Amino acid sequence: MKIHHIQPRFFSLALIVALVTSTATSSVVAEVPANSNNVAAAINVDIAMMASGTSRLEGIVTVPIYSSDDNMGSDYSTDPALFFDIDSNKSGTLPFSLLAKQPLPVRAFVDTLYSPRGAIPSNDAPPNYVIPHGTGPLRWSCVYNQTNVAMTPWGTQISITRSDGLPIPAPPGSKQAPHPGRPYNCGEMISKDRGIGYGKYSVDMVSTDVRGHVTALFLIAHSDSPEGGSEIDIELTGLDPTAVWLTVWKGSTQQAVKFPLGFDASKGWHTYSVEWQPGFIAWSVDGREVLRRTDLWTADPRTPGVEYKLALNSWTHDQEEDLWAGKFKWPTDRRQPVMSQFRNLRFVPMDM
């Protein structure tokens, strides 16, 4: 996901976010109901401000943006690695014929993302993940590199490194062209699970405070599916590590909410979750629901021909702006590696 800067005439109407609060011992949930009234669009809409305190919602910003000229959808949807043929493990569009007969099975899973034996290079990673190499959206300033993903006793680390703009050659035997050079390398892990559907997804993450660096968990549907593509994101950006972006893409329409966390996501482990049901999408932080949307369409994962992918990634943003992530520049005064950390990836299906 990235916040696109589009001429004002293309902005869609912004949805009013209803802020629901209670006592300090109850949950604080911002909800966008299905029958909410529309108001004139604005890039920054401060909905409410609350008193500071532990696990308190201090403010919320909605950024609904639409462009009739931009049919690309999110940045993730342009990554061919997401739609590889799992059976042959080759990159490319997943044949519709494999999906059209019946919906895919759904199963629960838990993955610690640990390697108790010490650091393991990505080519020895567990077989239930695809680690892309030489791919990635062209609008980013980095390209996925398998060596930037490593499992350790503390979880999986996905690093940002310099690439000096050198192109990455295509895999042996592949008909793909080499990926054009980018200033940086980044990384991604794509689950091979074929039954990604309604249910609750959670992961523990640590981000960074480096401008332009993005740490994310996301679900994305095949863009060629009969109902069109859709996407659900949880993203942390180094521009403001005290907030999380909770986003839904519907084709080329983006609905993004910035939620203030009340802590610095780059300083320690926290749990980020999304519960996805036919009637709503609800996000939680450290077990507390913070946002619920009942107004957004997503492609139904139970429909034949619709397949979602689940992925974790760490990448660098390439646009200079002060709203979402900012443009990544190599931090010359930073002693620690620029990397995202993940552990305890979990999925509980809707009917369990």
Helices (H), 293-333: none
Whether 17 maps to a domain, the answer reads: no
Whether 308 maps to a domain, the answer reads: yes
Instruction: Name the percent of the chain lying above pLDDT 90.
Output: 36
Q: What are phi and psi of 194, to 5 degrees?
A: -95, 0
Task: Inform me whether the pLDDT recorded for 125 exceeds 60.
Answer: no
Chain-centroid distance, C-alpha 255: 13
To 5 degrees, how large is the angle CA 200–CA 260–CA 140? 75
Whether 103 maps to a domain, the answer reads: yes
The owner of tokens 């305190």 is 53
Whether 293 maps to a domain, the answer reads: yes
Domain that holds residue 90: 69-349
Output the DSSP codes for 94-113: PPGGGTSSSPPP---EEE--
Whether 233 maps to a domain, the answer reads: yes
| pLDDT tens-place string over residues 9-46 | 333 333 333 333 333 333 344 554 443 332 222 222 22
Q: What is the CATH number of the domain that holds 201?
A: 2.60.120.200
Whether 105 maps to a domain, the answer reads: yes
| pLDDT tens-place string over residues 132-159 | 888 888 778 998 988 999 988 889 999 9
Task: Inform me whether the pLDDT recorded for 130 exceeds 90.
Answer: no
Task: Inform me whether the pLDDT recorded for 340 exceeds 60.
Answer: yes
Return the top range by mean pLDDT from 69-78, 214-223, 315-324, 337-346: 337-346
pLDDT at residue number 225: 59
Q: What are phi and psi of 345, to 5 degrees?
A: -80, 130
Average pLDDT over residues 113-123: 61
Q: Is 321 marked active-site? A: no
pLDDT at residue number 270: 97
Q: How many domains does the chain have?
A: 1
| pLDDT tens-place string over residues 244-267 | 999 998 876 788 899 999 999 999
Whether 54 maps to a domain, the answer reads: no
Written in H, E and C, the secondary structure of 141-175 is: CEEECHHHEEEECCEEEEECEECCCCCECCCCCCC
Return the top range by mean pLDDT from 65-69, 76-80, 176-180, 272-276: 272-276
pLDDT at residue number 167: 76
Instruction: Please choose, from the candidates 111, 57, 61, 109, the residue with its C-alpha nearest in 3D space to the C-alpha of residue 285.
Output: 57
pLDDT at residue number 307: 83
List 235, 275, 320, 321, catalytic entry: 235
Specify the DSSP element, H or E, that contains 339: strand 339-349
What global pTM score does this model have? 0.77
Task: Inform me whether the pLDDT recorded for 50 exceeds 60.
Answer: no
How many C-beta atoms surround the C-beta of residue 39 within 10 A? 11
Instruction: Name the percent of the chain lying above pLDDT 70.
Output: 64
Task: Inform me whether the pLDDT recorded for 286 exceeds 80.
Answer: yes
What is the distance between the alpha carbons of residues 350 and 343, in angstroms, rounded to a whole number? 22
Instruction: Please choose, from the candidates 231, 8, 198, 204, the residue with its C-alpha nearest in 3D space to the C-alpha of residue 108.
Output: 198
Q: What are phi and psi of 260, to 5 degrees?
A: -75, 130
Whether 48 maps to a domain, the answer reads: no
Length of the chain in terms of residues written:
352
Higher-pLDDT residue of 269, 118: 269
What is the distance between the alpha carbons of residues 146 and 30, in angstroms, rounded to a whole number? 38
Contact 243, 264 (CB under 8 A): no
Average pLDDT over residues 67-73: 41
Q: Considering only CA atoms, give the Rg of the chain.
A: 19
Q: Is 231 marked active-site? A: yes
Q: What are phi and psi of 124, to 5 degrees?
A: -110, 15
Contacts of 178 (CB under 8 A, 6+ apart): 134, 167, 168, 169, 170
pLDDT at residue number 34: 42
How many C-beta atoms surround the C-beta of residue 331 within 10 A? 17
3-class secondary structure, 8 = helix
List 231, 289, 320, 321, catalytic entry: 231
Confidence band for 175, pLDDT divided at 50, 70 and 90:
confident
